[in-house]
Amino acid sequence: MAAVTADVELAGMSATVPRSVGHISGLVRSGGGYWMMLHPLDGVGGAESGFRVVFGGADPAPDRQTPVTPEEVGAALAAVHGPETALGRLRWGTRFSDASRQLAAYRHGRVLFAGDAAHIHSPIGGQGLNLGVQDAVNLGWKLAATVRGDAPDGLLDTYHAERHPVAARVLATSRAQGVIMNPPPDSDAAALREVVADLARLPDGNRYLAGLMSGLAIRYDLGDENPLVGARMPDLALVTAAGATTVAALLCGGHGLDLTLGAPGPVEVGERVDRVAARAVDSPVGAEPAAGRVLVRPDARRVGGDGPGGRGGPAVVPGSAVVRGSAARPRGVEHNSGLAGLSRAESLLLKVPAFTDSGFT
Ligand SMILES: Cc1cc2nc3c(=O)[nH]c(=O)nc-3n(C[C@H](O)[C@H](O)[C@H](O)COP(=O)(O)OP(=O)(O)OC[C@H]3O[C@@H](n4cnc5c(N)ncnc54)[C@H](O)[C@@H]3O)c2cc1C
């Protein structure tokens, strides 16, 4: 598959041209052998609007390096939205494909790969940007600790171990999605599509697919059977002695987080780990967070504690810890084991001497 994405100005619009951004099903249309998604960039859709257009189906599809021309965009617009839909100006255009590829190794010595440089796949499902940002967030604090010289041996290699299986999974699901969306004619994939559609209507199937597509269900194997260790810390709304905040806001500094949930208390910004006492007032995943302590990596992964995310916390927080990555643990890298291993975890992952004085061992 080869396709075009471009920003255009329209000199004329038929009634079928979407005037507002809505559900994707209302933006997609086909005709004359093309499929097309078209939506206004300003959400208004008047004559002044620029439009984003994505289309494919041209036969033969030009090579990916061939510049996008106004003629081909104009022809596609007219074929899908009728002759009164005329191109005014092509602002820019580029080509993409559904190629599905991934580097075998994300680290080559001092060179580390993240984002589309490490993995490409069909844009179906809209997962690429999220995947790349999560690569960067996973890598950033490990790289910083390595550059500072206080990372334990092997910490940087956990980047590949944790992130490679996640992208492999996305590549697999986007390929499956491509087949399910457009089953090859006369293939059994059409029957498979019906089965998958039925499963997606079930709450558990729906939750599974949502966790998969959003990336919220990813859990790294940190060597602990507790399903919350290695899972994402939910972005709880919190009240501290310093006022209202959220877990995400507390993690913005790129530090680890030692969060004691229960009553509002001080926010102490450390050199590498911030200590915060807070009352949780809301959870986006619907769970009532238990009181207790949780240690969170700078990339929002729970590594232990005696509250949510550690031993003694709720067994399962809905919406998290559904998919377990198959990352092989790199040799020589130890992993924490919940409450008993917390000081080991922090010294291993965060190297914060103050933690060992916290009476948390
Ligand atoms: C049509 C389409 C729709 C998409 N829709 C979604 C979506 O809805 N949701 C989603 O999550 N993802 C979506 N994606 C995927 C998403 O766009 C990419 O995964 C994401 O942009 C990758 O980000 P990146 O920073 O890794 O790479 P890029 O965005 O490719 O950024 C790399 C940058 O490096 C620059 N560069 C390259 N070589 C050099 C060089 N030698 N020197 C200096 N600079 C260089 C490039 O110009 C570019 O600016 C879509 C992709 C396409 C094609």
* Among the listed residues 164, 173, 110, 116, the one whose alpha carbon sits nearest the alpha carbon of residue 138: 164
Please name the CATH architecture into which domain 237-320+336-356 falls: 3-Layer(aba) Sandwich (3.40)
| Predicted pLDDT of residue 178 | 86
DSSP H or E segment with residue 190: helix 189-201
**Residue 320: DSSP 8-state:** S
| Predicted pLDDT of residue 352 | 29
**Residue 203: DSSP 8-state:** H
Q: Which of 37-46, 167-176, 223-232 has the highest mean pLDDT?
A: 167-176
Among 1, 129, 138, 216, say which to mutate for ligand 1: greatest number of ligand atoms within 8 Å of CB.
129
In this predicted structure, the answer to whether residue 147 has a pLDDT above a threshold of 60 is yes
| Predicted pLDDT of residue 185 | 84
Domain boundaries, the chain: 2-97, 101-215, 237-320+336-356
Give the rounded distance of the alpha carbon of 312 from its chain centre.
28
Q: Which CATH number fits domain 2-97: 3.30.70.270, 3.40.50.300, 3.30.70.2450, 3.60.20.10?
A: 3.30.70.2450
Q: How far is CA 347 from CA 125, 145, 335, 336, in A?
A: 39, 12, 11, 10
What average pLDDT does this structure show over 136-163?
A: 92
Closest ligand 1 atom number to CA of residue 132: 26
CA of 67 to the centre of ligand 1 (A): 18
* 355 vs 233: which has the higher pLDDT: 233
In this predicted structure, the answer to whether residue 71 has a pLDDT above a threshold of 70 is yes
For ligand 1, atom 30, the nearest C-alpha belongs to: 116
- Model's pTM, two decimal places? 0.81
In this predicted structure, the answer to whether residue 345 has a pLDDT above a threshold of 70 is no
What average pLDDT does this structure show over 230-242?
A: 91
Among 23, 55, 116, 213, say which to mutate for ligand 1: greatest number of ligand atoms within 8 Å of CB.
116
CA of 289 to the centre of ligand 1 (A): 37
- In this structure, are strands 2-12 and 101-102 parallel, antiparallel, or unpaired? unpaired
| Predicted pLDDT of residue 296 | 93
Residues with CB under 6 Å of ligand 1 are: 5, 54, 96, 115-117, 123, 126-130, 132
| Predicted pLDDT of residue 152 | 85
Confidence of residue 306 (pLDDT cuts 50, 70, 90): low
In this predicted structure, the answer to whether residue 329 has a pLDDT above a threshold of 70 is no
CB-CB contact of 98 with 122 (8 Å): yes
In this predicted structure, the answer to whether residue 82 has a pLDDT above a threshold of 90 is yes
Q: Assign domain 101-215 to a CATH class.
A: alpha beta
**Residue 231: DSSP 8-state:** B
How confident is the model over 199-221, as pLDDT tens digits? 999 999 998 888 888 888 899 98
For ligand 1, atom 8, the nearest C-alpha belongs to: 126
Closest ligand 1 atom number to CA of residue 5: 1
State the greatest distance between any 2 C-alpha atoms of the chain, in Å, as a whole number.
Answer: 74
Q: Across all residues in the chain, what is the average pLDDT?
A: 82
What average pLDDT does this structure show over 322-333?
A: 29
d(CA 212, CA 171): 12
